[in-house]
Structure 1
Amino acid sequence: MDPHEFSRQLADRAARTPSKLGQAPSRTLQLAAAKPGETPYEIVHEEPPVRLRRYEPERPATDATPVVIAYAFINDPSILDFAPKRSVVRTLLDRGLPVYVVDWGDPSPLDRSLGLDDYVRRFLANCVDAVRERHGADAVHLLGYSTSVPLAVAYAALFPDRVRTLALQGPPIDFHAGDDMELFRSLAAEQDHERIVATFDAVPTPLLELGLACRKPVEYTVTTPLRLWDQLDDAAFVEEQGRKLEWITGGPHVPGRLYREFVEGLLLENRLIENELELGGRRVDLASIEAPTLLVLGTEDAYVPRAASVPLLEAIESDDTDVLELPTGHVGLSVSAVAHERGWPQVADWFVERNA
Structure 2
Amino acid sequence: MSTKVLGTNFFPLLNIEKETKRWNNLYKIMTEHKPEIVPTPRQRIWKKNKTTLWYHPAKDKKHDVPIFLVYSLLNKVYILDVGEGSSVVGGLTERGYDVYLLDWGSPGLEDSDITLDNYIIDYMENALKRALRHSGAKEISLAGYCLGGTIAAILASITKLPIRNLTLAAVPIDFSIGIVPDKWLEGLQKGSLSFDQFTDAHETIPSEFLYLMFRVLSPVYGSPKINLITRAHDEEYVEKWRRMDKWTKDTASFTGAAFKQMFNDLYKDNKLLKGDLMIGGRKVDLKNITCPLFVFSCSRDTLVLDKQSLPVMDLVSSEDKTYEVYEGGHVSLALTGVFAEIWDKWLSSRSLDAEKEPV
Q: Same fold (TM over 0.5)?
A: yes
1:175-213 deviations in Å (ceiling 9; x for gaps) = 114xx4436996986635224312322212331221132
Structure 1 residue 116, shift from structure 2 partner: 1.0
Matches within 5 A, 1:27-176: 27-29=29-31, 32-59=33-60, 61=61, 64-176=64-176
After superposition, the CA RMSD in angstroms is 3.2
**Structure 2 residue aligned with 1:4:** none
Q: Secondary structure at the match of 2:296?
A: strand
Q: Tell me the percent identity.
A: 23
Residue 289 to residue 345, structure 1, CA distance change in 2 (3 Å) = closer
Distance 1:47 1:199 in 2: 26
* Matched residue, 1:275: 275
Q: 2:302 aligns to what?
A: 302
Q: Against the structure 1 CA distance between its residues 12 and 267, is the aligned structure 2 distance closer, same or farther, given a 3 Å change threshold?
A: farther
Kindly indicate whether the alpha-carbon contact (under 8 Å) linking 2:218 and 2:302 is maintained by their aligned counterparts in 1.
no
Retained in 2: the 8 A contact 1:184–1:304? no
Q: Residues 114, 354 of structure 1: CA spacing in aligned structure 2 closer, same or farther, 3 A cutoff?
A: farther
- Residues 67-116 of structure 1, C-alpha deviation per residue, up to 9 Å, x if partnerless? 11111111111111223222211222123211001101121211111001
Q: Does the residue aligned with 2:180 lie in a helix, a strand or coil? A: helix
- The structure richer in helix per residue is 1
Contact conserved, 2:29 with 2:242, CA < 8 A, in 1?
A: no
One-letter code aligned to 1:182? V
- Aligned residue pair count: 343
Tell me the secondary structure at the aligned position of residue 330 of structure 2. coil
The answer as to whether partners of 1:36 and 1:79 remain within 8 angstroms in 2 is no
Give the AA of the match of 1:352.
Answer: S
Structure 1 length-normalised TM: 0.85
* Structure 1 pair 191–232 and aligned structure 2 pair: CA distance change class (3 A): same
Q: Equivalents in 1 of 2:344, 2:202: separation in Å?
A: 41
Once residues 247 and 154 of structure 1 are traced to their aligned partners in structure 2, the CA distance between those partners, rounded to angstroms, is: 26
Amino acid at match of 1:204: P
Of the three residues 210, 214, 217, the one matched with 2:216 is: 214
TM-score by length of 2: 0.84
Q: Give, in whole Å, the separation in 1 of the partners of 2:38 and 2:76.
A: 10
Q: 1:37 to 1:162 in 2, by over 3 A?
A: farther
The unaligned stretches of length 5 or more in structure 2 are: 1-9
4+ residue stretches of structure 1 with deviation over 6 A? 16-19, 187-190
Structure 1 partner of 2:7: none
Task: Find the residue that maps to 1:191 and give its secondary structure.
Answer: coil
CA distance, structure 1, for counterparts of residue 184 and residue 152 of structure 2:
23
Question: What SS does the corresponding residue of 1:85 show, helix, strand or coil?
Answer: coil
Tell me: CA distance 1:128–1:20, structure 2 relative to 1, closer, same or farther (3 Å): closer
Displacement of 1:313: 1.3
Q: Deviations over 1:305-352 (max 9, x none)?
A: 121111111111110100132101111231237556x62442442553
Q: Compared with structure 1, are the counterparts of its residues 90 and 354 closer, same or farther at alpha carbon in structure 2 (3 Å cutoff)?
A: farther
Structure label with greater radius of gyration: 2
Question: Where does the alignment leave 5 or more consecutive residues of structure 1 unmatched?
Answer: 1-7
